[in-house]
Structure 1
Amino acid sequence: MKTRAVYNWLLNIQSKRCMLCLASADTGRELCHACHLDLPWLGPHCRVCALPLPNEGQLCGQCQTSPPGFARVIAPFRYAFPLDSLIPAFKYHQQFAFGRLMAELLAEAIAAEYDDAGPVECLVPLPLHHRRQARRGFNQATELARPIAGALGLPLLPKALQRVKASESQLGLAAADRRRNLHDAFRCPAAPLIEGRHVALLDDVVTTGATVRAASRTLLEAGAREVSVWCVARTP
């Protein structure tokens, strides 16, 4: 029996393949070392909103002229290949294995930044409007947040924030139009759960930052002491 158990364990290890190139996975997850190195790591970025910049430690123009409300964005990657394929496959085609991989990578980045969860006291996934979630069948932010909350030992509050305005898609909108599109888009029906706490707001991608700015503002107005944003990728 012991020999068979060892054989099955070895077979399982050998059968794990990299999701990106199908080589043997040798990183402790379904990713090989070479593909892990080739991921579009963020590099130098704005110290508040994580916008990619030429030099580390700078503050982007938007954060200088219009501070966002949230304390900082943690994003390990730029939104570039292969994440610009993996994230849509997860969101729109229910490829949950890709979501699991991205949650593992994000949890690792957060732990490196904070020494585990550090000062953050609870985790709130960015909500979808209920009609969009019904069409999609799930909220990708919640699916990412569940394993991260478990890994970091954080309370997960999936109903602390609601999207009450079925705004049009943000794709293709100018920054000012995005802000107007998100006016009064969120509400916080569970203010006592976040009052006085440092909240991490989690989403898959931060593009212009308009959505997480609006959601952060709602959380702060409801009594959150501080809001940080965690996401898998930041657009250039």
Structure 2
Amino acid sequence: MKWFLDMVYPRNCIGCGVPSPETFRFICWDCWTDAAKVEPPFCKLCGDPVAGAVDHGFTCYSCTAAKPSFDAARSATRYDGVVGEALRQLKYDKALWLAPDLAAVLRNCLLAEYPGRRFDLVVPVPLYHVRRRGRGYNQSAVLAKELGRRIGCPSMPGMLRRIQPTTTQTNLTAPQRLSNVKNAFESRRQKWLAGRRVLLVDDVMTTGATVDACAKALKQGGASSVHVLTVARG
């Protein structure tokens, strides 16, 4: 069936165009190998990489100054190369067929960075309802659903709601990002959250302001722990 579908609907790597890539459905081995993986050393809380040699676990300045609400955050790759291109196509070009590949990237990161850790719920970072209607879907919810299927954990987008419209975080400074998302989220169905171990999923993490605000809302709703997993680090 796979061979037949490839004949009818030819697949090409979105990075280099090579036909019928095998590593992922739409990412070939060479492009995946060239992707900038997020690897140690990085902050043990937010996962932000640091340049140079560090032979011990450390906490970055930002997390030391203000401890985040999440318990830890990890990302698979940098937001560039073939993974960055896949995320942009998923988010802006409705390329939903790329979600399984990106969910596979998330699963690999999960197994590497949270080995042996169990989660009760996979919760995506929500979009404000106006933006979600305009786009037609929430890319983080699509990724969370695909990941949940792979790890046998229910994806529950209804656990968290964005209650305030916010401007895009892209061109904001770190303090502006914090202010932009402050009190922008609220937890829902708190009887489902009470005592639950939550895996919070998003496509990209930059300063961590958005996932921190989400984690705060989830813990206020009763979650016992919140670990963050994103495809890319901005």
> What is the TM-score normalised by the length of structure 2?
0.89
2:105: which partner in 1? Answer: 105
* Matched letter for residue 35 of structure 1: C
Aligned to 2:95: 95
Q: Please report how far the alpha carbon of residue 10 of structure 1 lies from its aligned counterpart in structure 2 after TM superposition.
A: 5.0
CA–CA separation in structure 2 for the residues paired with 1:206 and 1:109: 14
Alpha carbons of 1:129 and 1:201: their partners in 2 closer, same or farther (altered >3 Å)? same
Deviation of 1:39 (Å): 1.1
Distance in 2 (alpha carbons) for counterparts of 1:75 and 1:144:
14
State whether structure 2 residue 78 is matched by structure 1 residue 78.
yes
- Cα distance change on mapping 1:171 and 1:36 into 2, 3 Å: closer
1:18 paired residue number: 13
Match of 1:29 in 2: 25
Q: Which range moves more in the overlay, 207-216 or 83-92?
A: 83-92
Other-structure match for 2:229:
230
**Aligned positions of 1:157-176 closer than 5 A:** 157-176=156-175
Preserved contact between residue 50 and residue 234 of structure 1 (Cα < 8 Å)? no
1:198 is matched with: 197
Closer, same or farther: CA 169–31 of 1 in aligned 2, 3 Å: closer
What is the rounded CA distance, in whole Å, between the counterparts of 1:230 and 1:203 in structure 2? 7
**Pick aligned residue for 1:52 from 26, 49, 62:** 49
Shift of 1:31: 2.5
SS for the counterpart of 2:62 is helix
Q: How far off its partner does 1:155 sit?
A: 1.3
* Higher Rg of the two aligned structures: 1
Corresponding residue SS for 2:223: coil
Shift of 1:11: 5.5
Check conservation: 2:194, 2:223, Cα contact below 8 A.
yes
Match of 2:64 in 1: 64
TM-score (norm 1): 0.88
**Aligned residue pairs: how many?**
227
Residue by residue over 1:177-214, the C-alpha shift from the partner in whole angstroms, topping out at 9 and shown as x without a partner, is 22221121111121111110110111000011111111
**Does the C-alpha gap of structure 1 residues 28 and 176 become closer, same or farther in structure 2, counting only changes over 3 Å?**
closer
Amino acid at match of 1:69: S
Deviation at residue 18 of structure 1 after TM alignment? 2.8
3-state SS in 2 of match to 1:82: helix
Question: Are 1:121 and 2:120 matched, yes or no?
Answer: yes
Q: Give the Cα–Cα distance (whole angstroms) in 2 for the partners of residues 95 and 10 of structure 1.
A: 22
Q: Which amino acid aligns with 2:71?
A: A
Check whether the contact 2:14–2:86 (CA below 8 A) recurs between aligned residues: no
CA distance in 2, matches of 1:159, 1:72: 22
| Identical amino acids, percent of aligned pairs | 32
- Take 1:67 and 1:88, find their aligned partners in 2: how far apart are those partners? 30
Unpaired runs of 5+ residues, structure 1, are 1-7
Structure 2: where are the runs of 5+ without partners? none
**Following the alignment from structure 2 to structure 1, what is the Cα–Cα distance between the partners of residues 64 and 217?**
21
Q: Give the aligned residue type for 2:121.
A: C
Q: Distance in 1 between matches of 2:149 and 2:4?
A: 28
Residues 19-57 of structure 1 show CA distances to partners (whole Å, capped at 9, x for unaligned) of 322324232533322122111111232221111212454
Equivalent residues of 2:122, 2:200 under 8 A apart: yes
CA–CA distance in structure 1, aligned partners of residues 110 and 183 of structure 2: 30
> Which amino acid letter does the alignment assign opposite residue 96 of structure 1?
L
- In 1, the alpha carbon distance for the partners of 2:192 and 2:3 equals 45
Cα distance in 1 between the residues matched to 2:2 and 2:167? 49
Q: 1:149 Cα deviation (Å)?
A: 0.2
Secondary structure of the 1:123 match is strand
Superimposed CA distance per residue, residues 120-161 of structure 1 (whole angstroms, 9 cap, x where no aligned partner): 111111100000101111000011011100110001111110
